[in-house]
Every structure is written in structure tokens, then in C-alpha cells.
Amino acid sequence: MKLSLLHQPAAPASASPYRLVDDLGHEITWANDFLDTQRIRQLSLRSLRAYGYEALRPDVAQRQKA
């Protein structure tokens, strides 16, 4: 499974504009929930993007599947 980080600038204020999706375009729930929580905490967009790219690492994704 290939993961991608999408940027959706028109996202509501309570949701991260960065979304993790798989190769079929389905959202990765655990990662997007985390990003949304950080957005609510008012982290900067750069921090959200960095967290999103960190979640793309294969070792991080594998730990969440277990």
C-alpha cells in the first residue's frame, strides 16, 4: 500500500488541511484524526505538514497496523 499526503486548503478550520490517503484515495483514519487534533490545538500548518510526512514513513505506518 502506498500512502500520500494531500493538501486541501479549503478544509474547515477544525480539520487539518493535510490528509493522508492510500493508493485508492481512502483516508487513513488514525493519521487524519491525529492531524485534526493537532489542528484544533492550533499547531502551525508547517507542523501539521511535518507530522503528515512523518506518518508516511513505512516504520510508522507498520506500527499503527499492529
pLDDT in tens, 13-63: 999 999 999 999 999 999 999 999 999 999 999 999 999 999 888 776 566
- Domain borders along the chain are 20-65
What pLDDT shows up at residue 61?
Answer: 59
CB atoms within 10 A of CB 49: 16
